Amino acid sequence: METLFVYLTDRQMANYFRDKKNLMDDFFDLKEGNTCKVDDSNLPQNNYFRSNAGPITPCMVTMLLSRSLFDEHELRVYRVYT
């Protein structure tokens, strides 16, 4: 069975993910077909992120689709390997 993570967001959250200090730019702007690691070592350590994200399961993700949409929305589709 294949696991996909589909994320649709607005400009505000896209800007949050692209801000280098939040450590999410490599994940959010990953090029289609490229893979990266997701675990506690490369995610924001601040309380805001941790309280909203919940438990982190270490995994690898591959970007399948990255699109800018109407009204400044962003769509990301990742394949997840645990």
pLDDT (tens digit per residue) in 70-82: 999 999 999 999 8
Q: Up-side HSE of residue 31: CA atoms within 13 Å toward CB?
A: 1
Q: How many C-alpha atoms does 37 have within 13 Å on its Cβ side?
A: 5
**Residue from 29, 38, 40, 33 nearest 74 by CA:** 29
Q: How many domains does the chain have?
A: 1
Q: What is the per-residue pLDDT for 44?
A: 82
pLDDT of residue 56: 85
d(CA 47, CA 50): 5
Range of the domain at 44: 3-81
Chain segment 5-22, per-residue pLDDT in tens: 999 999 999 999 999 888
pTM strictly above 0.85:
yes
